[in-house]
Amino acid sequence: MAWPDSVLLTFTDIGKIIYIGLLKMLVGLVVLFSLLQGITHIGSVVQLKALGGKTIAIYMLTSTLAICLGLGAALMMPTWPPLTSLPDSSHLTLISQDSASGGAISTKLLDMALANPFHALANGNLLAIVVFALLLGISLLLTLPKQHAVFQVIDGINQGLTKLVSGIVKFAPVAVFSIIFQYSTQGNGALFGELAQFALLVFVLTAIHGGITLPLLAKIFTGRKILPMMKAISAPMAMAFTTSSSSATLPLSLQVAQEDLGVSQTTSSMVLPLGSIMNMDGTALFEGVAAIFLAQLYGIDLGTSA
């Protein structure tokens, strides 16, 4: 007996709501304790001062290049046909020039960033969570010895959250099926082909960034030959590809950096753990392409014009 479409839509709604709801429930805590763990693993404020500036600058550079690559390629691609029409104009809120001015935006960002951390966790204000984690992490480094129990508690909570998220992610195929089923019933049936184009674009751009852009930057800043360096990091790259996890790849990355690339333990133990949390070039590239893709699916113009 065939299931009515209304029943199938109800089941798919439940699957999508549960999966997305569980992730929303945890995202604030994951960001908070991941950042705290990364900062406290640096070891000391002296190391933070010595290497922090250069590390952050490199991370900002690579992330910016990844974002520019993703946005540029997505904007140059043929426009994906929209699945739905634009919302009714009566529901749109016009933003005045005054409210969009630099001063208003800065004030809004400060209000968001300096919110109560418990309120931020309850409302999913990730900007405030990140700011609080940075301030608290630096304060803990300044006041507590390296082997203090607080750091062990942070590590334990973070490991528990990671395990919980890993369990939730196992249900991703159900949620993906639910979302795609809903779109395919509400759209024009062309979503699967568009998703394939989207996935191929992200894969190609990620390969370009990881196989060309980053090795060239390493060549410029370190003078190392590209082929031997790529051979040395092939094992961590394979681990990252199969696990899709920076944290799971971190131990192998530390070993390769210290033993095969000759990076000091002090430098690698600071830069790599911090990078596994905050230097998500692939995520930055993916989100840039996804923003254009989703906007075009909903008929929203995100062109380069003002």
Phi then psi dihedrals of residue 157, to 5 deg: -65, -40
In-domain check, residue 302: no
Q: Number of folded domains in the chain?
A: 1
In angstroms, how far is the first alpha carbon of the chain from the final one?
54
* pLDDT (0 to 100) of residue 63: 85
Q: Is residue 163 part of a domain?
A: yes
- The separation between CA 163 and the C-alpha centre of its own chain, rounded to angstroms, equals 18
Task: Give the pLDDT of residue 1.
Answer: 46
pLDDT (0 to 100) of residue 96 = 45
The token pair at 105 is: 């935006």
Q: Which domain covers residue 247, as residue numbers?
A: 5-297
Q: Is residue 304 part of a domain?
A: no
Predicted TM-score (pTM) of this structure:
0.57
In this structure, which amino acid lies at residue 10? T
Residue type, 207: A
pLDDT of residue 190: 54
pLDDT by 10s per residue, the chain, length 306: 444 445 445 666 776 777 777 777 877 887 788 778 777 776 666 666 666 778 878 888 888 888 888 888 887 877 766 655 444 444 444 444 444 455 666 787 788 888 888 888 888 787 788 788 888 988 888 888 878 889 889 888 888 887 887 777 677 677 667 766 666 665 555 556 667 778 888 889 988 988 899 899 988 988 888 888 888 888 888 777 766 666 667 777 888 888 888 887 767 766 777 677 667 788 788 877 887 877 777 666 655 444
Q: Is residue 223 part of a domain?
A: yes
Residue 216: its pLDDT value, please?
Answer: 92
Q: How far apart are CA 26 and CA 83, in angstroms?
A: 31
Confirm whether 306 is domain-assigned. no
| Residues 17, 179: Cα–Cα separation, whole Å | 10
- Per-position DSSP letters for 92-126, written without gaps between them: PPPPPTTTTSHHHHHHHHHHHHTS-HHHHHHHT-H
